[in-house]
């Protein structure tokens, strides 16, 4: 068996300063310079991922659980290549499609149609490949005439449906899903799950982040539990989920 994703001692940290203020200004830099005040916070960090190693085999359905802010989404963003690790090594084999933090990379002012094309192109599909899949994407998403309206006019459900539909229809080899099933109605969630079951059967790799523990237990072949960017436990789903549940009973 081959590895789809490998993490070796990965560290990802964020500057506290950025987290707090989002951005700095020339003005403040200038004033600090005049007053000879040092920006101490610039060199203090929060470690989102702190020495994490694991590997996911091809064809595996790998679950990641943990409390809010434990680093789950950061892991997905690292796999997707949106963030780069500060140290350690990440290797990924195969085309990724990702649904991170309830949504895809849509430009709010572009129509659904344009976003489909742009997202397809970012994932490396040619225009023809996108055309061939276009109808499938639209019919799966069930958004009807909204396809020609800017996505900022979409309801959160429609947004998520389109995002999911694009992500599954570009034929990824590695599929990253982050909590997307939380906003869909029951019918759509069912459809998504059956699509993901299909992926499993087709031997694709799925990396699944969720707070829905029963779904994780049912769906995954292996589960990683992380806390503060460090692994706590990894292994058989029912065992890891049980231990995780126990941690709440204190």
Q: Tell whether residue 101 is a contact of another protein (CB under 8 A).
A: yes
| Nearest-10 crossing angle of helices 127-141, 156-169 | 140
Residue 3 contacts residue 222 (beta carbons within 8 Å): no
Q: How far is the CB of 152 from another protein (least distance, A)?
A: 10
Report d(CA 194, CA 217) in Å as an integer: 16
Q: Is the CB of 122 or the CB of 202 nearer to another protein?
A: 122
DSSP tag of 151? G
Q: Tell whether residue 248 is a contact of another protein (CB under 8 A).
A: no
Residue that the structure tokens 């590997």 belong to? 55
DSSP tag of 202? T
Most distant CA pair in the chain: distance in Å? 64
x/- letters, 121..150, toward another protein (CB under 8 A): xxx--xx-----------------------
Strand blocks (E) in 114-196: 174-178
The HSE-up count of residue 40 (CA atoms within 13 Å, CB side) is 1
Q: Residue 127 forms beta bridges with which residues? A: none
x/- letters, 53..92, toward another protein (CB under 8 A): ------------------------x--xxxxx--------
User: 100, 141, 160, 216: which one contacts another protein (CB under 8 A)?
Assistant: 100
Q: Tell whether residue 103 is a contact of another protein (CB under 8 A).
A: yes
Q: Is the CB of 118 or the CB of 193 nearer to another protein?
A: 118
- Positions that interact with another protein (CB under 8 A): 14, 18, 22-27, 29, 77, 80-84, 96, 98, 100-101, 103-108, 110, 114, 117-119, 121-123, 126-127
């Amino acid at each position: 068996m081959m590895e789809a994703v490998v993490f070796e001692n990965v560290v990802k940290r964020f500057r506290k300063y950025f987290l707090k203020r989002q951005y700095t200004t020339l003005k403040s830099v200038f004033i600090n310079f005049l007053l000879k005040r040092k920006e101490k916070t610039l060199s203090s960090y929060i470690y989102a991922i702190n020495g994490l190693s694991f590997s996911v085999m091809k064809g595996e359905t790998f679950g990641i659980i943990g409390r809010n802010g434990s680093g789950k989404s950061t892991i997905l963003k690292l796999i997707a290549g949106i963030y780069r690790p500060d140290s350690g090594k990440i290797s990924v084999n195969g085309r990724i499609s990702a649904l991170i933090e309830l949504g895809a990379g849509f430009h709010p002012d572009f129509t659904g149609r344009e976003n489909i094309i742009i997202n397809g192109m970012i994932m490396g599909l040619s225009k023809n490949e996108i055309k061939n899949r276009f109808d499938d994407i639209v019919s799966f998403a069930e958004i009807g005439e909204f396809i020609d309206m800017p996505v900022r006019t979409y309801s959160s459900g429609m947004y998520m449906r389109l995002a999911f539909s694009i992500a599954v229809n570009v034929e990824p080899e590695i599929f990253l899903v982050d909590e997307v099933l939380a906003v869909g109605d029951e019918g759509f969630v069912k459809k998504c799950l059956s699509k993901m079951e299909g992926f499993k059967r087709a031997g694709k790799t799925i990396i699944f982040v969720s707070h829905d523990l029963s779904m994780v237990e049912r769906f995954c072949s292996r589960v990683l539990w992380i806390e503060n960017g460090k692994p706590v436990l990894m292994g058989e789903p029912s065992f890891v989920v049980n231990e995780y549940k126990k941690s709440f009973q204190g």
